[in-house]
């Protein structure tokens, strides 16, 4: 049910919660079972109208969650107002739960590893792709927090549709490790197994020495000569699509 004091509740919970920035992030979080203790909208009826039009399956739970607040109040709660003027806080899944999901075997869909990614928007786009392909999860190494608000915004709330966690290279889930590298074998000549761990290097420096040493296979994507590289999310999408051709999704 809607909160009688959404602003007070927001401030009490903000530090340890996941910011759901915009209608679509809230929609996906609710659809995939996130615990959402507070949600606000500048125009509650307009937000519910969007739900009726685009996501009727979540209209009822959103009606129970959303509280209308004045525009200045909404703007004070978020770092960057969203065009839909909707925001919410969700409970971040525990690290133990994420690790359990990533480690569970037998695994029927790949895990995506972003090795020391730098760009928050790229990480969000990859999580959105991974959720769309039904991947088991997305793991990051390095310092980037995959639950940063900008990543969650880029992922449209689909963090809750797959496991998302930051790990050390030594902690990667089980399964054959396929790392994408320009010097690797052409991916078109190989069938990717369902339990594959698919690793992608940093936008700036490629694969780290630690991850390259762990790799069972180095693979390359087809690319026109003299083109330097693909965007990270594009590389992940191409690789997951190649996997899906053998029966995934």
Can you tell me which residue has the tokens 């087809």? 222
Query: In terms of domains, do 99 and 51 share one?
Result: no
Q: Is residue 232 part of a domain?
A: yes
Strand order in the sheet with 17-21: 17-21, 86-91, 38-41, 66-68
Max Cα-Cα span within the chain = 61
Choosing from 57, 91, 125, the residue where a domain stops is: 91
Query: In terms of domains, do 113 and 224 share one?
Result: yes
Rg (CA), the chain: 19
Is it the case that residue 189 has pLDDT exceeding 80?
A: yes
Measured between alpha carbons, how far is 105 from 197 in angstroms, rounded to an integer?
Answer: 13
Can you tell me which residue has the tokens 């991947």? 135
Q: Which of 114, 91, 90 is nearest to 165 (CA)?
A: 114
Please report, for the domain that includes residue 117, its CATH number.
3.40.1280.10
Angle at CA 184, nearest 5°, toward 178 and 187? 65
Is it the case that residue 249 has pLDDT exceeding 70?
A: no
Question: Is residue 120 within 8 Å of residue 144, measured between CB atoms?
Answer: yes
The whole-number pLDDT of residue 111 equals: 98
Is it the case that residue 89 has pLDDT exceeding 90?
A: yes
Query: In terms of domains, do 58 and 138 share one?
Result: no
The whole domain housing 131 covers: 95-244
pLDDT above 90: percentage of residues in the chain: 90
Question: Is residue 114 within 8 Å of residue 140, measured between CB atoms?
Answer: yes
Q: Is residue 249 part of a domain?
A: no
Mean pLDDT in residue range 108-121: 96
Residue 34 banded pLDDT, cuts 50, 70, 90: very high
Measured between alpha carbons, how far is 202 from 222 in angstroms, rounded to an integer?
Answer: 19
The whole-number pLDDT of residue 247 equals: 63
Query: In terms of domains, do 63 and 100 share one?
Result: no
Q: Is residue 235 part of a domain?
A: yes
Is it the case that residue 53 has pLDDT exceeding 80?
A: yes
Measured between alpha carbons, how far is 104 from 36 in angstroms, rounded to an integer?
Answer: 26
Is it the case that residue 60 has pLDDT exceeding 80?
A: yes
Residue range 205-216, pLDDT digits in tens: 889 999 999 999
Measured between alpha carbons, how far is 117 from 113 in angstroms, rounded to an integer?
Answer: 10
Q: Is residue 34 part of a domain?
A: yes
Residue range 138-169, pLDDT digits in tens: 999 999 999 999 999 999 999 999 999 999 99
Mean pLDDT in residue range 173-177: 96
Is it the case that residue 135 has pLDDT exceeding 60?
A: yes
Query: In terms of domains, do 129 and 87 share one?
Result: no
| Structural domains in the chain (count) | 2
Q: Is residue 71 part of a domain?
A: yes
Query: In terms of domains, do 83 and 109 share one?
Result: no
Can you tell me which residue has the tokens 């927001």? 10
Choosing from 74, 91, 108, the residue where a domain stops is: 91
Strands 38-41 and 86-91, how do they pair?
Answer: antiparallel
Query: In terms of domains, do 122 and 240 share one?
Result: yes
The whole-number pLDDT of residue 206 equals: 87
Query: In terms of domains, do 83 and 142 share one?
Result: no
Query: In terms of domains, do 85 and 103 share one?
Result: no
For residue 79, what is the DSSP state?
Answer: S
User: Which distant-in-sequence residues (6+ apart) come within 8 Å of 204 by Cβ?
Assistant: 118
The whole-number pLDDT of residue 221 equals: 94
Query: In terms of domains, do 165 and 124 share one?
Result: yes
Is it the case that residue 188 has pLDDT exceeding 80?
A: yes
Question: Is residue 96 within 8 Å of residue 32, measured between CB atoms?
Answer: no
Query: In terms of domains, do 220 and 194 share one?
Result: yes
3-class SS at 182?
Answer: strand
Query: In terms of domains, do 110 and 215 share one?
Result: yes
Measured between alpha carbons, how far is 152 from 18 in angstroms, rounded to an integer?
Answer: 8
Mean pLDDT in residue range 185-189: 94
Is it the case that residue 1 has pLDDT exceeding 60?
A: no
Question: Is residue 40 within 8 Å of residue 67, measured between CB atoms?
Answer: yes
Q: Is residue 1 part of a domain?
A: no
Choosing from 63, 91, 119, the residue where a domain stops is: 91
Please report, for the domain that includes residue 34, its CATH number.
3.30.1330.30
């Amino acid at each position: 049910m809607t909160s009688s004091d959404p602003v007070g509740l927001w401030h009490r919970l903000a530090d340890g919660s996941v910011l759901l920035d915009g209608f679509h992030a809230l929609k996906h979080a609710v659809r995939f079972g996130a615990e959402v203790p507070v949600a606000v909208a500048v125009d509650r009826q307009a937000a519910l109208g969007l739900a009726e039009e685009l996501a009727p399956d979540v209209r009822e739970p959103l009606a129970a969650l959303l509280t209308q607040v004045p525009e200045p109040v909404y703007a004070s709660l978020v770092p960057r107002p969203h065009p839909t003027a909707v925001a919410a806080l969700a409970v971040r899944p525990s690290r133990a739960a994420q690790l359990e999901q990533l480690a569970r075997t037998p695994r029927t869909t790949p895990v995506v590893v972003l090795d020391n990614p730098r760009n928050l928007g790229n990480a969000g786009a990859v999580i959105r792709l991974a959720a769309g392909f039904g991947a088991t999860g997305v793991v990051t190494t390095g310092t980037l927090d995959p639950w940063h608000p900008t990543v969650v915004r880029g992922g449209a709330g689909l963090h809750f549709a797959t496991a998302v966690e930051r790990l050390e290279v030594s902690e990667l889930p089980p399964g054959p490790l396929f790392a994408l590298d320009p010097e690797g074998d052409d991916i078109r000549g190989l069938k990717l197994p369902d339990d594959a761990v698919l690793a992608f290097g940093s936008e700036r420096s490629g694969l780290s020495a630690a991850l390259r040493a762990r790799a069972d296979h180095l693979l390359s994507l087809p690319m026109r000569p003299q083109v330097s590289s693909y965007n990270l999310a594009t590389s992940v999408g191409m690789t997951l699509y190649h996997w899906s051709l053998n029966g995934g999704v």
